[in-house]
Structure 1
């Protein structure tokens, strides 16, 4: 059995004058808060670039990019308040403004973050490397002046070794003892490289460490 139902609508009725549903917006677009930068950690790095930096702020979203000066860099969204980036290289040291960009629109231009590029060849840093080179272990075949990357690596290895020493054993790493020094405690001396490293690590009965 088949039943056909016909509905007649007058020409000037409300149903005829109603706009199609496709022309009606469901909801107005929600206002999007403007992203802003509050801090950069760390706020300085080498001119060679490649330093991992966290941009801290508000209203971050996926696809938002970070701009160092005029250099757009790839960024990784951690949360709506943090973005991880790697700094691009820069040929001269100095301060650059850090802003945000999304689809060719820039944010934070009125209140940008700031990042300081530091050169490995600055006098104070160069002097620090010279001091480190006198302390780190030297290996057979080393040139007189080591590359700065090697100096940093060996200094980090040495510091890690010293800090990881067991505290429950009495241990002294020092230069040769003078005749006036007492004989209490156990000590051993080493000097396996050019330049003198004098580190004395001793533990007394009270569990305190003395240099």
Structure 2
């Protein structure tokens, strides 16, 4: 939809990877719709994943016993977070939809993306206490995980060796995105592209592009424990 703004947070080392293809087709399709698309290519940016004292500019409130959460919260209120955090928060704040494109690492996100979440989605910006889940500060935005796996769809089934893929979505979609207020769209899971045929990989890319054509009409999932564990 013309006028919509999309942020793609992209975490893969190789531009010519399958993840790179999924990112590229998303940029192409959403731009074709008239959306403004911004990509945070974390590896290309050499994004700092570590949460440290350097995330606060100026003095900290308690230099003798450093509490990252406390100091970042205070720095957020003062506007004295590190420049790279502020830049990413501005992108999130402007976005109507945030897409996270990444390969599944150990049932989770790559370290560089986890670091982005740790540092960017801080208290005071994405949530507060109270002010989380349905009251999270990003409640007017959509979020979507586009994930590639090493295992097959069969492995990530209820009877598969890895269990239902919804299980690994729980901490990411519910514990991070929903906690910050995002309305979460169903994840796009591309199963085992490395062992798929060229035709199958092309089909996965096409499926993603087709879905994006109507992405703005989708309803968010019911992000509650029964959606993940009660089916």
Superposition TM-score tier, normalisation by shorter sequence? under 0.3
What is the TM-score when the length of structure 1 is the normalising length? 0.22
- Greater per-residue helix proportion: 2
- Greater per-residue strand proportion: 1
What is the TM-score when the length of structure 2 is the normalising length? 0.20
